[in-house]
């Protein structure tokens, strides 16, 4: 029989990714105050954690430490309860040093750790026309070095899995004893260059995880809602947000991240699960206490 905390589902709001802008949805945050407002509304709707790609004044993703710190601190000052998960993918063409420096200096409670080098692009799904693409570099050395830097800074990695090869890469590097238990995986579906959501592929990933692992899921565009529902159904967690998808299930633009969180909450409740509080999420994911509520 499951304990009370095992029935809880962690809902993450990915507030603003590298590829969504106000022309996609006016609610996409750019400034620290906009991030803080979106995070607060997401928390009130049921999110325990927010995933953050900070922006510069022009709205473009940034690797500048002070700009990222301003966003991090604005969220913490307005909603100190929230877990903040910073991205280690901070824009096209950034060096590994530029990507990891802000994690080490700011020391959020959690940060993304990508697992394989891959194509990454924006492609018209109907015609197949390539609109933008680049190589997202995540070598074994980067996976190893970023993992060591995060764990030494008491930042819990969120292991980003775009296909089963990425999972195998992480498990291979894990043999060095770098990572603390439990490992927390995020299955990413629908990226052009990764894999589309398929229920059987999802089950394969879950069955390949070491015992005691936590997993969540997010999906790009139309993959968002089916992927989070399967994750919840299989005992995992849920990520929604304007980074991944700007529309509601009926096709209307979401009024903000909070509306997407509300959908996740309703879906979880239908399956007999309730949203975890941030402190319950910290317990489930084994976060370090050093960086809690640190502005």
The predicted structure's pLDDT at residue 290: 77
- pLDDT score, position 57: 81
Domain annotation covers residue 291:
no
Q: Mean pLDDT over residues 39-67, rounded?
A: 95
Helix and strand element counts for the chain (H, E): 9, 12
**What is the CATH classification number for the domain harbouring 104?**
3.20.20.70
- Chain mean pLDDT for the chain: 95
Domain that holds residue 63: 5-285
How far apart CA 34 and CA 292 sit, in angstroms, is 22
Q: Which two tokens stand for residue 66?
A: 């002070």
| Alpha carbon of residue 215 to chain centroid | 11
Pair 61, 55: CB distance under 8 Å:
yes
pLDDT (mean) for 275-286: 98
Say if 142 falls within a structural domain: yes
pLDDT at residue 7, as a whole number:
87
Q: Are 133 and 122 in contact (CB under 8 A)?
A: yes
Q: How far apart are the first and last CA of the chain?
A: 39
What is the tally of structural domains in the chain?
Answer: 1
Q: Is residue 53 part of a domain?
A: yes
Position 294 in a domain:
no
* Helix (H) or strand (E) segment spanning residue 176: none
At residue 83, does pLDDT exceed 70? Answer: yes
pLDDT tops 60 at residue 56: yes
More confident residue, 2 or 41: 41
Residues 139/166, Cβ–Cβ less than 8 Å: no
Is the predicted pLDDT of residue 235 greater than 90, yes or no?
yes
For tokens 């967690």, name the residue: 237
The radius of gyration computed from the CA coordinates of the chain, to the nearest angstrom, equals 17
Asked whether 82 and 50 are in contact (CB, 8 A), the reply is yes
Residue 290 belongs to some domain of the structure: no
pLDDT of 289 reads 85
Give the model's confidence band at 294: pLDDT under 50 very low, under 70 low, under 90 confident, else very high: low
Which tokens belong to 229?
């529902």
Cα dihedral: 164, 283, 228, 206 (round 10): 30
Q: Is residue 147 part of a domain?
A: yes
Q: Are 186 and 213 in contact (CB under 8 A)?
A: no
Q: Judge contact between 29 and 16, C-beta under 8 A.
A: yes
Q: Is residue 201 part of a domain?
A: yes
- Return the residue matching tokens 């997401």: 42
Rounded to whole angstroms, what are the CA distances from 247 to 31, 61, 202? 22, 21, 23
pLDDT at 1 over 60: no
Residues 101-151 pLDDT 10s: 999 999 999 999 999 999 998 888 889 998 888 899 999 999 999 999 999
Range of weakest confidence among 123-127, 184-188, 211-215, 282-286: 123-127
Q: Is residue 292 part of a domain?
A: no
């Amino acid at each position: 029989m499951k304990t009370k905390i095992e029935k809880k589902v962690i809902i993450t709001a990915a507030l603003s990714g590298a590829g969504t802008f106000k022309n996609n949805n006016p609610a996409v945050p750019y400034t620290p105050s906009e991030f803080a407002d979106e995070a607060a509304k997401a928390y009130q709707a049921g999110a325990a954690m927010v995933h953050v790609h900070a922006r510069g004044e022009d709205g473009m993703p940034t690797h500048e430490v002070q700009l990222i710190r301003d966003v991090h601190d604005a969220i913490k000052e307005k909603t100190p309860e929230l877990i903040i998960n910073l991205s280690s993918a901070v824009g096209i063409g950034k060096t590994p040093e530029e990507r990891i420096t802000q994690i080490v200096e700011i020391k959020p409670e959690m940060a993304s750790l990508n697992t394989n080098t891959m194509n990454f692009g924006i492609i018209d799904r109907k015609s197949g026309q390539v609109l933008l693409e680049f190589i997202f570099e995540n070598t074994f050395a980067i996976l190893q070095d970023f993992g060591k830097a995060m764990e030494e800074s008491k930042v819990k990695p969120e292991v980003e899995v775009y296909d089963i090869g990425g999972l195998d890469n992480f498990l291979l590097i894990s043999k060095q004893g770098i990572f603390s238990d439990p490992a927390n995986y995020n299955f990413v579906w629908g990226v052009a260059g990764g894999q589309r959501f398929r229920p059987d592929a999802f089950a394969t990933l879950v069955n390949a995880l070491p015992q005691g692992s936590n997993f969540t899921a997010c999906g790009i565009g139309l993959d968002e809602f089916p992927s989070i529902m399967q994750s919840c159904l299989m005992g995992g967690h849920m990520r929604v947000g304007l980074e991944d998808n700007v529309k509601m299930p009926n096709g209307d633009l979401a009024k903000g991240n909070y509306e997407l969180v509300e959908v996740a909450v309703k879906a979880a409740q239908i399956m007999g699960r309730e949203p975890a509080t941030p402190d319950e999420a910290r317990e489930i994911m084994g976060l370090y206490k050093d960086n809690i509520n640190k502005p």
